[in-house]
Structure 1
Amino acid sequence: MSRLPRINTYISFGLAILSGMTTLTLSTAAFAEDNLRSLTVFPSSDATAQLYERFVKLVNERGKGKIKISVVGGPEIVPGFQQTEAVARGSIDMTYAPISYSLGSMPEADAWVGSNLPPSVQRENGGFALFQEIAAKRLKIHVLARFAPAAPLNVFLINTPKFKADGEIDLSGLRLRASPLYNAFFEKMGATPVTIPVPDVYTGLERGTFDGMAYPPSAMEGWSWDRFLKYRIEPGFMQSDLGIYVNPTKWAALSADSQKILTDTAVEFEGSSYKEWQDVTTTMNAKFDKQGMKAIVLEGAARDAYLKTAYDSVWNRLKASGSPDYEKLRAHYFAD
């Protein structure tokens, strides 16, 4: 009996096994779960960090078997101001942080701070896409979404505020705890900005190191600063600039399904967090008022002048940076 048919049989059987293994490998690859390691710029106790955790949980539920985000830590892993750069380098896949931390490299970050429109408007008018393009070019990151923009700043004071003869608020001569985002506003109002880390604010208020501060009411829960701050100036101004950023190489490597789940969930949270943070702001202010804080409500020309000074301080800074996108960003993000 010839051995050739038997050899051919062995070869055919071997090829069949190899084909099956290849099919199994391809099938496994096709259904491999995308995994992203994420940081947050704030500790888990922070209210905005908890918002991000809710986003992550929903992505993981919707993307079960397709995509999974693992929050591996916060500023104890990588300092907050370095996290966006870490995403760009690929040291971490994504993070949740203020875009203004990169203001030195991307002056256009001021468009988020100086906006007075809901994020849905920028999605519709092309402003968000433009912002994505700028961030990809300047910071080498993919901007997925912005969160909780409806968290305006209010000025809080220890003592009764002064007013000018024309009814405008007078902050001249006051020392106010500030950040680089609104130092220019305080200086324009005649106040002296004081740089103090958030964890040290309570001690500063207790010792009278400064006369007041600007901060989102929605983010003041748990700090007990309202023990010293007895006056709140209304209206609030500017917007928070929290966003989600993904390494572009990692983003490109995600499956189409994973990209869609991430984007759809982020856009959903972008809208819901806008409404949610409006409600949180209202709730916190009502709590402060009940505890005895007095709201100083500016109206008419005094209100207009106050807001103009606040927003101009941001947009003038962006214009002075020489950004070629200043005009387009202002048109997309600000309603005069």
Structure 2
Amino acid sequence: MKTIRPFNTLLTAMAVSILALGASGASAQDTLRSLTAFPSSDATAALYAEFVELVNERGAGILEIDIVGGPEIVPGFQQTEAVARGTIDMTYAPISYSLGVFPEGDAWVGSNLTPMESRENGGFELVQSIAAEKLGVHVLSRFAPAAPLALYFVDEPKVDADGNLDLSGLRMRASPLYNALYEALGAVPVTISVPDIYSGLERRTFDGMGFPPSAIDGWSWDRFLKYRLDPGFMQTDLGIYINPSKWAALSDESRQILTDTAVEFEATSYELWQQVTEEANAKFEGLGMQVVALEGAGRQAFLDTAFGASWDRLKASGSDDYEALRDHYYREPK
């Protein structure tokens, strides 16, 4: 016997089919779920939020980035790996967090060129290709780029009779970004996470630390850190990383919006971050922080050691790309 389907059931089936056809014919909005390596209160995390807002504005109806949290969800040191695995679509984090498997990240740290120069000469594209192979991520951008770093101290650091900085015996808050420099100057790296820096200073667990001046505001560390070394040195190494499968699945329009906005933001944030650095230095000097300024041969020796520490570490890693990266990211002082 032939089964007769009720009229309402037929209508429902037809409606579902029509909706399915309509959905397949319409292009869905791309969404990227993002983490940040630092809490939202951090100045560079706030700048990343501005980048995300600009992308979302330009990509309305096409692309949206959703910042779902920070290190409270996945520790900062593990976020790039989480992106590679596809646990999260995207993150913003220091490339130095991955130096163990990606020593080529030292090219960003040891660079003395602007991000615009390294994009123009092919350096950024070179890092992209190496990171795709070794980290399993698509590198979208350098971020808050090329802001100089600084050393801060609880007590006035020693400068010898020849004007050279002497950190012998000092305990410095460890970071992959600075450890080679500390060791070259005789200091001992001590591992302290960013959220624990305040209590570490309060207990005098360490004597000093390196940090971008532009990012030190808001932590109240200046209650203990009373000296800043001049000159600034090396460069910040923050980057934006996307899962390659997710990147490939985005529409051409979404990828273009991300790329164009990233290139533009690299340049604008570079100019902004130089200004923010100057303003941060002036603010803390106004609050009583003293500047220990190296001069002459001692100043140049410090800069040579600081930049050289990164390049020496990269060379010692045995990377096949050492020479090419140095050519694209470093200009020999005249």
Query: Does the C-alpha gap of structure 1 residues 190 and 38 become closer, same or farther in structure 2, counting only changes over 3 Å?
Result: same
| Counterpart code for 1:97 | A
Q: Which residue of structure 1 aligns with residue 208 of structure 2?
A: 212
Q: Which residue of structure 2 aligns with residue 81 of structure 1?
A: 77
Q: CA deviation at 1:22?
A: 9.1
**Correspondence for 1:65 among 56, 61, 70:** 61
Query: Does the C-alpha gap of structure 1 residues 34 and 157 become closer, same or farther in structure 2, counting only changes over 3 Å?
Result: same
Q: Which residue of structure 1 aligns with residue 101 of structure 2?
A: 105
Q: Which residue of structure 1 aligns with residue 40 of structure 2?
A: 44
Q: Which residue of structure 1 aligns with residue 119 of structure 2?
A: 123
CA distance in 2 between partners of 1:73 and 1:204 (Å): 25
Q: CA deviation at 1:205?
A: 2.2
Q: Please show how residues 23-42 of structure 1 align to structure 2 within 5 Å.
A: 24=22, 27-28=25-26, 31-42=27-38
| Counterpart code for 1:270 | E
| Counterpart code for 2:307 | Y
CA distance in 2 between partners of 1:265 and 1:104 (Å): 30
Q: Please list every run of 5 or more consecutive structure 1 residues that lacks an aligned counterpart in the other structure.
A: 1-16
> Which whole-Å deviations, capped at 9, do the CAs of 1:195-230 have from their partners, x for residues lacking one?
222222222222333222221111111111212222
Q: Which residue of structure 1 aligns with residue 163 of structure 2?
A: 167
CA distance in 1 between partners of 2:273 and 2:87 (Å): 31
Moved more, 183-192 or 260-269: 183-192
2:275 pairs with 1:279: yes
> Which whole-Å deviations, capped at 9, do the CAs of 1:261-282 have from their partners, x for residues lacking one?
0001111111111111111111
CA distance in 2 between partners of 1:175 and 1:42 (Å): 24
2:300 pairs with 1:304: yes
Q: Which residue of structure 1 aligns with residue 142 of structure 2?
A: 146
Moved more, 278-287 or 288-297: 288-297
Q: Which residue of structure 2 aligns with residue 324 of structure 1?
A: 320
Contact 1:150 1:275 in 2 (8 A): no
| Counterpart code for 1:238 | M
CA distance in 1 between partners of 2:206 and 2:73 (Å): 32
Q: Which residue of structure 1 aligns with residue 239 of structure 2?
A: 243
Query: Does the C-alpha gap of structure 1 residues 209 and 86 become closer, same or farther in structure 2, counting only changes over 3 Å?
Result: closer
CA distance in 2 between partners of 1:25 and 1:232 (Å): 59
Contact 1:154 1:232 in 2 (8 A): yes
Contact 1:157 1:211 in 2 (8 A): yes
Q: Which residue of structure 1 aligns with residue 226 of structure 2?
A: 230
Moved more, 79-88 or 236-245: 79-88
Q: Please list every run of 5 or more consecutive structure 2 residues that lacks an aligned counterpart in the other structure.
A: 1-14
Q: Which residue of structure 1 aligns with residue 5 of structure 2?
A: none
Q: CA deviation at 1:235?
A: 0.6
| Counterpart code for 1:312 | G
Moved more, 318-327 or 229-238: 229-238
SS in 2 for 1:39: strand
CA distance in 2 between partners of 1:297 and 1:108 (Å): 31
> Which whole-Å deviations, capped at 9, do the CAs of 1:24-53 have from their partners, x for residues lacking one?
45531xx32111111111121111111111
CA distance in 1 between partners of 2:35 and 2:203 (Å): 34
**Correspondence for 2:289 among 286, 293, 299:** 293
TM-score, scaled relative to structure 1: 0.89
2:82 pairs with 1:92: no
Query: Does the C-alpha gap of structure 1 residues 209 and 221 become closer, same or farther in structure 2, counting only changes over 3 Å?
Result: same
CA distance in 2 between partners of 1:160 and 1:299 (Å): 16
CA distance in 2 between partners of 1:43 and 1:167 (Å): 38
Decide which structure has the larger Cα Rg and report it: 1
Moved more, 177-186 or 285-294: 177-186
SS in 1 for 2:71: coil
Query: Does the C-alpha gap of structure 1 residues 207 and 75 become closer, same or farther in structure 2, counting only changes over 3 Å?
Result: closer
> Once the two structures are aligned, what percentage of the paired residues are identical?
67
Q: Which residue of structure 1 aligns with residue 9 of structure 2?
A: none
Q: CA deviation at 1:126?
A: 0.2
CA distance in 2 between partners of 1:150 and 1:56 (Å): 20
Moved more, 140-149 or 34-43: 34-43
CA distance in 2 between partners of 1:169 and 1:38 (Å): 41
Query: Does the C-alpha gap of structure 1 residues 24 and 162 become closer, same or farther in structure 2, counting only changes over 3 Å?
Result: closer
CA distance in 1 between partners of 2:173 and 2:320 (Å): 32
SS in 1 for 2:232: strand
